[in-house]
Amino acid sequence: MLFQIKSYLKFLWHSKNEHAVHSPFVFTLITKCFYDKKEKPEYAVLKQYRKALLTNTNTIEVTDFGAGSRVFKSNTRAVAQIAKTAGITKKRAELLLRIVRYFESDTILEIGTSLGLATAALSLGNKNTIITTLEGCPETSGVAQNQFKNFGLTNVNSVITEFTSYLEKKDLALASATTNSEKNKEGYSLIYFDGNHSKKATLDYFELLLPTITNETVWIFDDIHWSAAMEEAWEIIKQHPKVSVTIDTFQWGLVFFRHEQPKEHFIIRT
């Protein structure tokens, strides 16, 4: 916790708003998407989705393949408590919805479904998108799938899998593709990384999914300041030669691969 407090104070010292941004691409993203204060009807659905989880008194046995929990000491956890402490916040869920809508993302991969709070935001951002969401824990995924059904989120495909093995298969599929059109079918317009907050796993996922990128790809890494190791992973990602623009919002790191953009890194308050 002390590490994150120090990281946040450092973030506040270096962060800017739209007035200090000279990139037209980033300036427009901030003003038209990040700082969009207009109420959306989908926000009410997100609120209902969250309420349904917060009133769920069931307990589940969580299988955790990631970096572990700083809150829970046992793998037997109440659904309501998971939603309260481990789920995406209301503010960030609404921002995630706006990002999907702003970029008109039509194929999305989510690494780490949990209870589906972020998945719902991805789904509601563009009902015509196709979402593949990966979760290693069957019981957690089961709760999320019931929520998707109850809220009519029919554009979500849930996959219970160990992340690396799934992504390695994806990498092999891309390697065996013989044409650009076949490769593009395997790609994603947006990827939300929220499955394993460790340096090694984050960088492994990054490398395995690099073959899927296009000029319009958007990647979002959650919890980039979770630990010193995650900050190291974020610095490595920023310096990768295929990465052109990054935005650090403290909670998230957004990554772009736009060929026409000069390499720039931004620290933005949202």
| Domain locations along the chain | 2-55+88-267
Rg (CA), the chain: 18
Residue 23's SS3 state is coil
DSSP notation for 223-252: -TTSSHHHHHHHHHHHH-TT--EEEE-SSE
Interior angle at CA 211, CA 210 and CA 216, nearest 5:
75
pLDDT reported for residue 173 = 65
DSSP notation for 98-164: HHHHHHT--EEEEE--TTSHHHHHHHHH-TT-EEEEEES-HHHHHHHHHHHHHTT-TTEEEEES-HH
pLDDT reported for residue 226 = 94
Q: In sequence order, which residues have a C-beta less than 8 Å from that of residue 179 and are 6 or more positions away? A: none
pLDDT reported for residue 86 = 84
pLDDT reported for residue 175 = 61
Residue with tokens 């029919």: 154
- 3-state SS of 173-203? HHHHCCCHHHHHHCCCCEEEECCCCCHHHHH
- Report which DSSP code applies to 93: H
pLDDT reported for residue 172 = 62
Asked if 63 and 142 count as a contact pair (C-beta separation under 8 A), the reply is no
Flag residues of the chain having pLDDT under 50. 68-71
- Report which DSSP code applies to 73: S
Report the chain's terminal Cα–Cα distance, integer Å.
21
pLDDT reported for residue 166 = 94
Q: State the Cα–Cα distance between residues 190 and 106, nearest whole angstrom.
A: 8
Residue 254 is inside which H or E element, if any?
Answer: strand 252-256
Q: State the Cα–Cα distance between residues 64 and 219, nearest whole angstrom.
A: 23
pLDDT reported for residue 16 = 87
The architecture CATH gives domain 2-55+88-267: 3-Layer(aba) Sandwich (3.40)
